[in-house]
A and B are shown apart, each in its own frame.
Chain A
Amino acid sequence: MTQRYDLKGPVRRRMRIADNEFSAVSEGRIRIRIGAVFFMFALTIAVLRLAEVSLLSPSNSGKYYTSNDAVTRADIVDRNGELLATTLETYTLYARSKYVWNPEEAAQKMSAVFDGMSRQELLARLSRKGDQILIKRGLTPKEKQTVFELGLPGLIFEAEPKRVYPRGALGAHVVGFTDVDLNGLAGAERAFNEELSTENAPSLSLSIDLKVQNAAADELQKSLEHFSADTGAAIVMNLKNGELLAMASLPNYDPNRPDTALPQNLFNHASMSTYELGSVFKPITMAMALDEGVTDLKETFPVHKPLKVRNKYIRDDHPSKVPMAMPEILAESSNRGTAMLAMRVGGDRQQAFLSELGLMARVPVELVESAAPQVQTEWQDITTVTVSYGHGISVTPLALTTAIAALLNDGEYVQPTLMKRDSVNAPVTRRVISGDTSRKLRDLMRYVATDGTGRNARVKGYGVMGKTGTADKPSVDGYDEKRLVSSFIAAFPYEDPQYVVFVTFDEPKAVEGTYGYATAGWNAAPTAGRIIERIAPILGVEKRSGPIALSPFSEQALR
């Protein structure tokens, strides 16, 4: 300090004054410095905090909004992508009693939204004490929004997935249903439960064609009502690749509310009920006889004479007065004639042949609801005879459809499927009869539709083939002639069979116009015909303009 002021000379007063100034200035500087230090300190803290926030704060990159759907389930669609089953969000409404201001008012307002619940019911629930009082399950998003907009305090909504079947009862037995936890309980829901419940699974394409399903179910329903039958089933199958295009069972149910359905309505008669189907088995016996070469189409059999096997007379419904060859035996549905063919082939070969056609075991379709047949344990000669015309063996409609499909598919058995065929799900086939026998069988079944018991199934321009089957139902003592199972197996078009249609009715009644008959030719055959008439255009089968190529046995001008 001296150094600096020495230059200016030693003036005492000045120095004193300078001293004063200096102390004031230096004090000011100290203050400034303290201030600066505080400021820097604060700034440093702020900066450090900034740095901490921006560098060290926990990264929340993983906190993107994710779906809270714990349970998901893929959609089920038909072969053309039409929606059959989907999973939608529904809401469950709870109340927290602590926050409910005015239960009366809330009940009043909410009763206007829910038609299913009365004001008293709502009031009773809203007045209960607790943290989570269940008010109502299964609210649609619209209902939820409406309730939300009422602005009532103390209400909680909880999202819950629910399986929805927009087509209702249509195809219900095929699609099936799930429980509240979305586990498949029936139909495709059960058969493909694993595929459907896998995360992000693609929608499942069934082989079903919704339009064909509707046509089959609709005609089946109309006929079932017309003939007052107890139950009925219809199957449409692509015989070339085994795809099931329609499978209807009546009575049916709404899969959206399976709990309200009668238990017997949940039963899929098409694949789960076994029947003694009767004469629809005759084409099988004939195919076997022809393929074994034990006879030909021209040999006549003495069907006009009584036939006795093990003290049992084989009876014919329409007894013939003359011997008949195979085409007439099938067209007139002669039990005796068929029995003679079967006896000539023999029981062992018959059993083997039925096994090859899949009639001795459960149909290997994906559905869990596929029943095993009921077959006699001891195969006697009488068994050979009765089975030849479809008695003494109970099979499902699906089993018979598959067997006949094999006979008409150039003799190749194709495993039926409920899934749309693609490169992964390619058909599994095996040869059961020769192509030549298959063509003969086609002629025989065409003859039934042009000249025999299946005339009511004819559809102009589509060349329908078929076979009727009317069986008395077994009862406590033998067979009950009043209670029938009538069925019709049909295929079309004649030149190149592509589709097979099976219709069966349990206990149809005779009505006006059927001349007192409740046999298959009067109910199942026309139903199958009407189904074919409706589905042929849907399936793109071209209508023939001229007369259809004639069955070689027919002299009638055919249509």
Chain B
Amino acid sequence: MRSYPGYRRGVGGSIIFALFLVGVILTVGLYFVKTRAQTAKTEASQLLRKVEAEQKAVKLLRAELAHLESPDRLSDLAERELGLLPVKSEQTISPEELVEMIPMRDLPDGGQP
């Protein structure tokens, strides 16, 4: 007697087949999730690399800025290009002295200032 399980598949067989299918689907799903996670990881490390590159660039720019705005360089430039020199004590005045030097004007209508 030959039998054909294909024709006489019982409930047990279907369950096994269904489980197998679920297993396959889960495995495939897991594979995709894993792949995507890896892609994200690669992207993240690329971004980190970019951040580091930017940080290095910022450091470099900060150093360049520090060089360019060095007070000795600026005072040299100010003296050469604009003829500006450090302020002398005589050139500054305190608010009290200012009041003494510039007499207060009377208001046109004679009112109090």
Q: Is the CB of A166 within 8 A of B67?
A: yes
Q: Does A462 contact B (CB under 8 A)?
A: yes
Q: Is the CB of B89 within 8 A of A461?
A: yes
Q: Is the CB of A50 within 8 A of B88?
A: no
Q: Does A43 contact B (CB under 8 A)?
A: yes
Chain A residue contacts of B41, Cβ below 8 A:
60-61, 63-64
Q: Is the CB of A543 within 8 A of B27?
A: no
Q: How many residues of A contact B (CB 8 A)?
A: 49
User: Nearest chain-B residue to A170 (Cβ)?
Assistant: B72
Q: Is the CB of A29 within 8 A of B31?
A: no
Q: Is the CB of A64 within 8 A of B89?
A: no
Interface centre among A64, A83, A543 (most CB of B within 10 A): A83
CA–CA, A55 and B48, complex, Å: 27
User: Nearest chain-A residue to B25 (Cβ)?
Assistant: A47
Of the candidates A51, A53, A67, A546, which one forms a contact with B52 in the assembled complex, judged by CB atoms under 8 Å apart? A67
> Could you tell me the distance in whole angstroms from the C-beta of B89 to the nearest C-beta in chain A?
5
Q: Is the CB of B31 within 8 A of A54?
A: yes
Q: Is the CB of B86 within 8 A of A64?
A: no
Chain A residue contacts of B70, Cβ below 8 A:
166-168, 170, 214
Q: Is the CB of B71 within 8 A of A211?
A: yes
Q: Is the CB of A86 within 8 A of B23?
A: no
CA–CA, A63 and B38, complex, Å: 11
Of the candidates B23, B49, B86, B90, which one forms a contact with A47 in the assembled complex, judged by CB atoms under 8 Å apart? B23
Interface residues of A in 417-467 (CB under 8 A from B): 459-462
Q: Is the CB of B63 within 8 A of A164?
A: yes
Q: Does A533 contact B (CB under 8 A)?
A: yes
Q: Is the CB of B27 within 8 A of A50?
A: yes
Chain B residue contacts of A86, Cβ below 8 A:
59, 62-63, 66
Interface centre among A26, A65, A141, A214 (most CB of B within 10 A): A65
Interface residues of A in 23-55 (CB under 8 A from B): 26, 29, 33, 43, 47, 50-51, 53-55
Interface residues of B in 80-113 (CB under 8 A from A): 86-90, 92-94, 96-97
Known contacts A50-B27, A83-B62, A545-B97, A537 near B71 by CB under 8 Å: no
Give chain B's interface residue range (CB within 8 Å of chain A). Answer: 35 or more
Q: Does A534 contact B (CB under 8 A)?
A: yes
Chain B residue contacts of A43, Cβ below 8 A:
24
Q: Does B19 contact A (CB under 8 A)?
A: no
Q: Does A89 contact B (CB under 8 A)?
A: yes
CA–CA, A60 and B94, complex, Å: 69
Q: Does A88 contact B (CB under 8 A)?
A: yes
CA–CA, A534 and B92, complex, Å: 12
Known contacts A50-B27, A64-B45, A543 near B92 by CB under 8 Å: yes
> Could you tell me the distance in whole angstroms from the C-beta of A539 to the nearest C-beta in chain B?
14
Chain A residue contacts of B54, Cβ below 8 A:
none
Q: Does A218 contact B (CB under 8 A)?
A: yes
Q: Is the CB of A51 within 8 A of B27?
A: yes
CA–CA, A65 and B53, complex, Å: 12
Chain B residue contacts of A82, Cβ below 8 A:
66
User: Nearest chain-A residue to B99 (Cβ)?
Assistant: A545
Q: Is the CB of A214 within 8 A of B75?
A: yes
Chain B residue contacts of A89, Cβ below 8 A:
56, 60
CA–CA, A438 and B64, complex, Å: 46
Q: Does A210 contact B (CB under 8 A)?
A: yes
Q: Is the CB of B56 within 8 A of A218?
A: no
Q: Is the CB of B60 within 8 A of A88?
A: yes
> Could you tell me the distance in whole angstroms from the C-beta of B108 to the nearest C-beta in chain A?
30
Q: Does A215 contact B (CB under 8 A)?
A: yes
User: Nearest chain-A residue to B98 (Cβ)?
Assistant: A545
CA–CA, A62 and B64, complex, Å: 35
User: Nearest chain-A residue to B35 (Cβ)?
Assistant: A54
Q: Does B46 contact A (CB under 8 A)?
A: yes
Chain B residue contacts of A87, Cβ below 8 A:
59
CA–CA, A67 and B54, complex, Å: 13
> Could you tell me the distance in whole angstroms from the C-beta of B19 to the nearest C-beta in chain A?
13
Q: Is the CB of A65 within 8 A of B30?
A: no
CA–CA, A218 and B67, complex, Å: 17
Q: Is the CB of A167 within 8 A of B59?
A: no
Known contacts A86-B62, A88-B59, A534-B86, A65 near B46 by CB under 8 Å: yes
Q: Does B78 contact A (CB under 8 A)?
A: no
Q: Does B18 contact A (CB under 8 A)?
A: no
CA–CA, A77 and B1, complex, Å: 95
Q: Does B77 contact A (CB under 8 A)?
A: no
User: Nearest chain-B residue to A533 (Cβ)?
Assistant: B89
Q: Is the CB of A141 within 8 A of B66?
A: no
CA–CA, A446 and B75, complex, Å: 32
Q: Is the CB of B63 within 8 A of A55?
A: no
Q: Is the CB of A218 within 8 A of B75?
A: yes
> Could you tell me the distance in whole angstroms from the C-beta of A59 to the nearest C-beta in chain B?
10
Chain B residue contacts of A460, Cβ below 8 A:
89-90
User: Nearest chain-B residue to A86 (Cβ)?
Assistant: B63
Chain A residue contacts of B67, Cβ below 8 A:
166-168
CA–CA, A105 and B79, complex, Å: 46
CA–CA, A166 and B56, complex, Å: 16
Known contacts A64-B41, A166-B63, A545 near B96 by CB under 8 Å: yes
Chain A residue contacts of B94, Cβ below 8 A:
461, 542-545
Binary flags per residue of A517-559, CB closer than 8 Å to B gives 1, else 0:
0000000000000000110110000111110000000000000
Q: Report B's interface with A, CB cutoff 8 A.
A: 1-2, 4, 6, 23-24, 27-28, 30-31, 33-34, 38, 41, 44-46, 48-49, 52, 56-57, 59-60, 62-64, 66-67, 70-72, 75, 86-90, 92-94, 96-97
9 shortest interchain CB distances as A-B pairs: A166-B66, A65-B45, A214-B71, A166-B67, A83-B66, A545-B94, A54-B34, A54-B30, A545-B97
Q: Report A's interface with B, CB cutoff 8 A.
A: 1, 26, 29, 33, 43, 47, 50-51, 53-55, 57, 60-61, 63-65, 67, 82-83, 86-89, 141, 164, 166-168, 170, 210-211, 214-215, 217-218, 459-462, 533-534, 536-537, 542-546
- Sampled A-B contacts (11; CB under 8 Å): A1-B1, A26-B2, A43-B24, A54-B33, A60-B38, A86-B66, A89-B60, A211-B71, A214-B71, A214-B72, A214-B75
